[in-house]
């Protein structure tokens, strides 16, 4: 048997895993379902990803890229002359107004870390990414509170199907920013 050189196969497998999870949820993910979706031999999925957790890590990392790109594209987050609450509220609005299925998928993978410890470091990457961007604008405790609030707002919008209210989010984020600075929150473990 002649092996065909296929440098894109690993990426096609990740893309297929994302489609499978998007269509069937994490419970529908298997090496076999991904191989069928990617139109590759079953052995290719296990060659590139020994375990389903390895595949989920790659899928979550790729899913996180959308939010990371939005954060990276907002230079105003680090500008002390801008209204941070307004910038964060607009960022959430832009993200939630984008590919809704992609946002839902990202949260499904993100929440899978509750049961799959291998996903936890990747799930934490978005928090670290935003925290780094906010480090010059807020103290660590306020940053953690902002991130928790942003997560909560996003989950409420996704779970209830309610429209995202940017003004409301801006007000809540502003409250956290105004009251932050003095409180200390123990470091995450």
The predicted structure's pLDDT at residue 1: 37
CA distance linking residue 90 with residue 176, whole number of Å:
16
The predicted structure's pLDDT at residue 41: 94
Selection from 37, 169, 63, 50 nearest residue 28 by Cα = 37
- The yes-or-no verdict on residue 183 having pLDDT over 70 is no
pLDDT band at 4 (very low <50, low <70, confident <90, very high): low
172 vs 61, higher pLDDT: 172
The predicted structure's pLDDT at residue 186: 41
Query: Distances in Å between the alpha carbon of 12 and those of 32, 57, 157?
Result: 14, 15, 31
CA distance linking residue 131 with residue 11, whole number of Å:
29
Cβ-based neighbours of 34, under 8 Å, separated by 6 or more: 13, 16, 17, 20, 45, 55
* Encoded tokens for 175: 């409250």
Contact criterion met (CB below 8 Å) for 65 and 15: no
The predicted structure's pLDDT at residue 60: 86
Q: What is the CATH number that goes with domain 61-179?
A: 1.10.357.10
* Encoded tokens for 34: 């991904």
Selection from 177, 127, 174 nearest residue 148 by Cα = 127
pLDDT in tens, 115-169: 999 989 988 887 888 888 888 899 999 999 999 999 999 999 999 989 999 999 9
The distance from CA 180 to its chain's CA centroid, rounded to whole angstroms, is: 25
- For the chain, the domains span 7-50, 61-179
Span 7-50 CATH architecture: Orthogonal Bundle (1.10)
pLDDT in tens, 56-106: 999 888 888 878 888 888 888 888 899 999 999 999 999 999 888 888 888
The predicted structure's pLDDT at residue 185: 39
pLDDT band at 181 (very low <50, low <70, confident <90, very high): low
Selection from 132, 174, 115, 117 nearest residue 150 by Cα = 174
């Amino acid at each position: 048997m002649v092996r065909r050189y296929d440098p894109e196969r690993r990426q096609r497998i990740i893309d297929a895993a994302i489609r499978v999870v998007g269509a069937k949820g994490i419970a529908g993910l298997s090496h076999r379902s991904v191989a069928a979706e990617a139109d590759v031999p079953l052995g290719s999925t296990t060659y590139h990803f020994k375990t389903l957790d390895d595949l989920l890590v790659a899928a979550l990392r790729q899913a996180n890229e959308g939010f990371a790109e939005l954060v990276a594209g907002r230079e105003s987050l680090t500008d002390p002359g801008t209204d941070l609450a307004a910038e964060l509220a607009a960022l959430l609005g832009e993200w939630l107004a984008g590919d809704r299925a992609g946002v839902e998928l990202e949260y499904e993978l993100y929440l899978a870390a509750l049961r799959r410890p291998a996903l936890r470091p990747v799930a934490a990457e978005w928090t670290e990414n935003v925290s780094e961007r906010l480090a010059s604008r807020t103290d660590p405790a306020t940053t953690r509170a902002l991130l928790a609030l942003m997560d909560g707002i996003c989950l409420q919008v996704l779970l209830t199907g309610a429209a995202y209210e940017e003004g409301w989010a801006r007000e809540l984020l502003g409250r956290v920013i105004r009251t932050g600075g003095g409180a200390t929150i123990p470091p995450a473990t």
